[in-house]
Structures are given as C-alpha cells and as structure tokens.
C-alpha cells in the first residue's frame, strides 16, 4: 500500500451471502444416504443432521429473515418425523433420542437469545411435545434408558 493511500473504511462492498435452508439440506443429505432397497434410515447421518438444528436456526433466520423460520422448521420437522417412524418400527436408538432432545434444548436456548425468534420457541415446544409422547410414562427414559435432559 502506498504511504499516502488511505485505509478502506466500512461499509465494505460485500456480495450478499446466500441464504441457508435447513429443510433443503436435510432432504438432500438424507436422500444421498438413503438405502431404498433396504428401507433403512442411517441413524448416524440422522443424528448429524439433528445436531445441526440450532446452527441452522441461527443461519436460516439470519440469512433469510422472511423465510428462515419456515425453512428451519421444515428441516427439524422432517428429522423428528423420521425419529417417530423409527420409534414406530422399534428401530430407534437411544443415541438418536438423545440427539433430538439435545437439539430441542439448544434451539430453545438459541431462540431465546436472538431477538425476534419467539415463534421458534413455540415450534420447538411443538416438536418437544411430539418427542415426549414416545418416552416412557415417567417422561425421563426411553425404553428404560435415561434420556438427555438439560
């Protein structure tokens, strides 16, 4: 830089960051890992997607304020629907239940800490209600094993 050149000050001319879409991400990842001939759901892949829910809550709603809550909730809903399917088939692993419980807790916290995400808390409450129905009657265990609780 030349000695008499002035440093560039904000605002910088930055290209728009593409919006994230948790719903599309979930569909893409699960489709790529589907084993159609066996009708199996890879729970390790499912858990990895579930574990990203709170991150996508923040990025979807930040990069696309108009549609972000909808795309995030679509992704989380698809994942929880798969958890319920696995439960119904009696294939659901405790580790997957724990991931879903942890994701609800993290999303609840993130939604409470970011302005304008109160509706996301309502959605997390709805998802949590669905998951609660598959727990044992004490609502703390799944098939006799302790479930993650914050």
Does 9 fall in a domain?
no
Does 110 fall in a domain?
yes
Q: What is the domain range of residue 100?
A: 22-27+42-140
* More confident call, 80 vs 14: 80
Count the domains in the chain: 1
Q: Give the integer Cα–Cα distance in Å for 111 and 58.
A: 8
Q: Which of 1-5, 30-34, 100-104, 117-121 has the lowest mean pLDDT?
A: 1-5
Name, in order, each residue with C-beta under 8 angstroms of 61's C-beta and a sequence gap of 6 or more: 68, 69, 72, 114, 116, 117, 120
The token pair at 75 is 């992704």
Does 92 fall in a domain?
yes
The token pair at 124 is 């997390």
Does 81 fall in a domain?
yes
Does 108 fall in a domain?
yes
Does 131 fall in a domain?
yes
The token pair at 77 is 């809903």
Residue range 18-27: mean pLDDT, rounded: 95
* pLDDT at 51 exceeding the cut of 80: yes
At 1, is the pLDDT very low, low, confident or very high (cuts 50, 70, 90)?
low
């Amino acid at each position: 830089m030349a000695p008499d050149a002035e440093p560039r000050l904000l605002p910088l001319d930055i290209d728009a960051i593409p919006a994230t879409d948790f719903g599309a991400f979930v569909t893409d990842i699960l489709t790529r890992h589907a084993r159609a001939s066996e009708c199996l759901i890879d729970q390790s892949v499912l858990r990895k997607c579930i574990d990203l829910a709170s991150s996508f809550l923040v990025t979807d709603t930040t990069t696309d304020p108009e549609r972000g809550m909808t795309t995030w909730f679509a992704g989380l809903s698809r994942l929880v629907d798969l958890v319920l399917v696995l439960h119904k088939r009696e294939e659901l692993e405790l580790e997957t239940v724990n991931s879903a419980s942890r994701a609800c807790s993290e999303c609840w916290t993130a939604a409470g800490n970011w302005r304008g995400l109160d509706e996301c808390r309502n959605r997390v409450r709805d998802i949590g209600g669905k998951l609660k129905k598959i727990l044992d009657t004490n609502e703390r265990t799944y098939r006799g094993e302790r479930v993650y609780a914050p």
